[in-house]
């Protein structure tokens, strides 16, 4: 249920906000990898959550790109 809520929150963000969130998650993922390698990682489930959030954002960005590309075609067909 939490993932659905997270996805709904992400859908409301603009393209720039999604990009900023993606950058922040990638930095967190990098830090988590270092913590795991040095044995300092306490919350191991966080790695999976961050990885899935990154995938959610990339999916939304892909959907937005496809929608933007198909939009001019729809306008040309109606004209």
pLDDT per residue as tens digits for the range 56-79:
999 999 999 999 888 777 666 665
CA atoms of 34 and 50, how far apart (whole Å): 14
* Mean pLDDT calculated for residue range 45-50: 96
Entry pTM? 0.82
Say which residue the tokens 């933007």 belong to. 68
**What's the chain's average pLDDT?**
89
pLDDT of residue 4: 76
Nearest C-alpha neighbor of 28 from the set 11, 9, 10, 43: 43
What's the pLDDT score for residue 53? Answer: 95
CA distance 40 to 26: 19
Q: Under a CB-based contact definition with an 8 Å cutoff, are residues 25 and 46 in contact?
A: no
């Amino acid at each position: 249920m939490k993932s659905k809520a997270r996805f709904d929150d992400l859908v409301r963000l603009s393209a720039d906000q999604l990009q900023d969130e993606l950058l922040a998650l990638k930095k967190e993922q990098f830090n988590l990898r270092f913590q795991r390698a040095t044995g300092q990682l306490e919350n191991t489930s966080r790695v999976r959550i961050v990885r899935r959030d990154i995938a959610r954002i990339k999916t939304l960005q892909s959907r937005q790109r496809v929608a933007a590309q198909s939009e001019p075609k729809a306008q040309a067909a109606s004209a």
